């Protein structure tokens, strides 16, 4: 896990590899949504897709300007400097990689929980939840402020632990790919969903998290591995009103406004509304 990342990036940049993976997974999921949609979209694609895709472009620009190293660059720096817990313990590369991947996955789960429980973080995270439909582009709908905070969080973990660069790279690709998968408006056979969700978060499992019902919103926080929600009793198997009958988004913003880019960018600065736990 120590050596392959450097020659690989000498031939093909991390950005190119991640972009290729992103594009391939995005178009595969989008095609699946067209062929096997799970729900009829309320607002459709049109303006929603333009807004959600514009946000990810803006996020990418902000990250590149503020964090030229990002997580993989941070890992390479830590490796060169011998910095971090794993380097101090002289763990084998494969073990440091596996542990690093699992710790990062758990950390993102914990960050997601905090984004719902801490009001100032919920202000920003609710941009993601304000989408009135859930599909592959919802996975990209995160306010630039949240992306900056998340990047700082991940870079800190990678540096403190000394996670190998290859593990950091694989985690980023898997996280992005799985987010697009479990946000996809994709109808999977029930038997396949029940098998997959034993290990990973499926579209039906994560859709519960986007319900307007508070208790359902405060469940199924995982983006990749499903074990954390089961372990910490935040798992709800199905939405109370069924996947076809459930309402997606925020109950107080059931209009066309969440599909507009100006509204989305300004949303964190709007007053918080009281969330009814019995909703």
Question: Three-state SS for 166?
Answer: helix
Write down the residue that tokens 């996020």 correspond to. Answer: 59
The answer to whether 279 and 251 are in contact (CB under 8 A) is yes
**Residue 3 lies inside a defined structural domain of this protein:** no
CA distance 92 to 242: 47
**Residue 11 lies inside a defined structural domain of this protein:** no
CA 3 to chain centre: 28
Nearest CA among 140, 153, 143, 235 for reference residue 180: 140
Nearest CA among 17, 41, 237, 219 for reference residue 136: 41
**Residue 114 lies inside a defined structural domain of this protein:** yes
Instruction: Tell me: pLDDT of 3 over 90.
Output: no
CA distance 65 to 145: 14
**Residue 10 lies inside a defined structural domain of this protein:** no
Tell me the percentage of the chain whose pLDDT exceeds 90: 89
pLDDT tens string 113-141:
999 999 999 999 999 999 999 999 999 99
CA distance 7 to 27: 29
**Residue 273 lies inside a defined structural domain of this protein:** no
Q: Which domain holds residue 41?
A: 16-268
Q: What is the mean pLDDT of residues 193-217?
A: 97
This prediction's pTM: 0.91
CA distance 260 to 279: 26
Q: Tell me how many domains the chain contains.
A: 1
Q: What is the mean pLDDT of residues 158-178?
A: 96
């Amino acid at each position: 896990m120590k050596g392959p990342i450097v020659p690989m990036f000498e031939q093909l940049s991390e950005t190119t590899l991640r972009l290729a993976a992103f594009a391939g997974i995005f178009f595969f999921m989008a095609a699946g949504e067209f062929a096997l949609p799970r729900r009829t979209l309320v607002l459709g694609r049109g303006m929603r897709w333009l807004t959600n895709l514009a946000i990810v472009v803006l996020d990418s620009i902000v990250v590149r300007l503020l964090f030229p190293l990002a997580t993989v660059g941070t890992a390479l720096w830590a490796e060169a400097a011998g910095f971090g817990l794993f380097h101090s313990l002289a763990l084998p590369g494969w073990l440091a990689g596996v542990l690093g991947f699992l710790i990062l996955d758990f950390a993102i789960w914990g960050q997601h929980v905090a984004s719902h429980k801490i009001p100032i973080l919920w202000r920003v995270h609710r941009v993601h939840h304000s989408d009135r439909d859930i599909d592959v582009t919802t996975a990209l709908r995160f306010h630039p402020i949240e992306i900056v905070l998340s990047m700082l969080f991940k870079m800190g973990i990678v540096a403190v632990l000394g996670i190998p660069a290859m593990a950091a790279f694989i985690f980023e690709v898997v996280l992005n790919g799985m987010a697009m998968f479990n946000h996809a408006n994709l109808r999977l056979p029930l038997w396949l969903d029940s098998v997959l969700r034993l290990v990973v978060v499926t579209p039906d499992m994560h859709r519960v998290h986007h319900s307007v019902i508070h208790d359902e919103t405060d469940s199924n926080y995982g983006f990749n591995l499903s074990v954390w929600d089961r372990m910490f009793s935040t798992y709800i198997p199905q939405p109370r009103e069924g996947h076809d009958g459930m309402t997606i988004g925020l109950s107080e913003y059931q209009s066309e406004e969440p599909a507009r880019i100006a509204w989305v960018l300004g949303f964190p600065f709007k007053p918080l509304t009281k969330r009814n736990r019995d909703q």
